[in-house]
Amino acid sequence: MEPILLKIPFDAGTASTGFGDKPWTSYDMLVVRVETDDGIVGWGESWGYGVIPAVKTAIEQVVAAHFIGRDPTIVGNLREIWHKLHLFGRNGAIVYAMAGIEIALWDICGKAVHQPVHTLLGSAQRLQFPAYASLVPYRDPALVGRMTAKALAEGYPTVKLHEIDVPPVRAARESGGEGFELMVDTNCPWMPWQALEMARRMNEYRLYWLEEPVWPPENFPALARMKRESGVPIAAGENVGTAREFETLLSHDAVTYAQPSVTKIGGIAEMRKVCVMAEAHNIPVSPHSPYFGPGLAATLQLVATLPYPVQIERVFIQLEASPFGSMIDVRGGTMRVPDGPGLGIEPDRELLKRYRAL
């Protein structure tokens, strides 16, 4: 069981971009390679970006030991391991580490029986989904306008901005016209009363949803008020740590779209619970998936089994190369669910070697 850091150069249309603590100099991905004693290799992915050093250490020094020597089919019921680890955090590095290993075990189980993961989870309802272009933060309205036009020209039906001010939103709408759906992801910048005001101003440009408008992300009553009073559909959930915490979010009627993230919430089985609970609350899932590796494949395998279509988040950057192949490609505005055994992806060994940093 081995966590592997990949650092891949990319083009985002600007020299400086990033989320969280620092600008990106490469797209960083933490993948987990698990090999069984009879030689089946599974691939998983943990939540990465700026937290990769902590998650890699968590896998190597804390979490992996709980899995070594076990049968990979325990993946359907990890209660015992979750219980042993709960003292060390129910959101954060330990949970992301669990996710990376969990996803790899699903890959192994699928490969062992020569079936795609979506077959193990039930049966696929559809194998093709519309993708939305998830633009990185630009802050410069002119650049936002240009990148919106570029995404639409490439066939995306929907564009999501990561912006926190009105001028970039106006620029996107004016550049793209009325014929496309526009989402705005703000990553939790505002106090609730500021969020209401900003939602109303941004919604002059007709938002499909406003994502994570309030600080802190777990302020579910404030999100619920936004949903009731802002006039804008609300999306959130990527920062929810557990399936159980999602039940609390859903009980508050806090979102129009629930956004579990497979590499953050602990893997496929936990995200599946969220999908079932959301359905019981009549709330559609719209997964958080800023991934280019096993995390994206796991997301696609999961949504294939949902009884309704969803839009797949595709980060709108151009990687120098894709270590996990053509799964990341969007053609005619759609993405396909990989159909091979397990997650349906196999990494290119040469590319793994070329981009491996740790």
**β-pairing verdict for 158-161 and 312-315:** unpaired
Q: For residues 30 and 19, give the distance between their C-alpha atoms in angstroms, rounded to a whole number.
A: 16
User: Of 45 and 211, which has the nearer Cβ to Mg ion?
Assistant: 211
Can you list the alpha helix ranges (DSSP code H) found in the chain? 52-58, 79-85, 93-112, 117-120, 141-153, 166-176, 192-202, 220-229, 243-251, 268-280, 294-303, 349-355
User: Of 102 and 185, which has the nearer Cβ to Mg ion?
Assistant: 185
User: Of 270 and 313, which has the nearer Cβ to Mg ion?
Assistant: 313
Tell me if 313 contacts Mg ion by CB under 5 A. Answer: no
User: Of 4 and 161, which has the nearer Cβ to Mg ion?
Assistant: 161
Tell me if 185 contacts Mg ion by CB under 5 A. Answer: yes
Minimum Å gap between C-beta 186 and Mg ion is 8
Using CB under 5 A, which of the segments 52-60, 178-186, 219-227, 306-314 binds Mg ion? 178-186
Using CB under 5 A, which of the segments 22-30, 143-151, 184-192, 304-312 binds Mg ion? 184-192
Contact 300, 338 (CB under 8 A): yes
Rounded to 10 deg, the angle between the 294-303 and 268-280 helix axes is 40
In the block, residue with structure tokens 């705005």: 184
Cβ-proximal residues to 37 (8 Å cutoff; 6+ apart), any chain: none
Tell me if 102 contacts Mg ion by CB under 5 A. Answer: no
Minimum Å gap between C-beta 152 and Mg ion is 21
User: Of 267 and 287, which has the nearer Cβ to Mg ion?
Assistant: 287
Binding mask 201-240 for Mg ion (x = CB under 5 A): ----------x-----------------------------
Neighbours of 261 (CB within 10 A): 24
User: Of 260 and 267, which has the nearer Cβ to Mg ion?
Assistant: 260
Binding mask 129-168 for Mg ion (x = CB under 5 A): ----------------------------------------
* Residue closest to Mg ion (Cβ): 185
Minimum Å gap between C-beta 239 and Mg ion is 8
Written as six digits, the tokens of 280 are 């019981």
Look at phi and psi of residue 299 and say left if phi exceeds 0, alpha if psi is from -120 to 50, else beta. Answer: alpha
- Please count the residues of the chain: 358
Positions touching Mg ion (CB under 5 A) are 185, 211
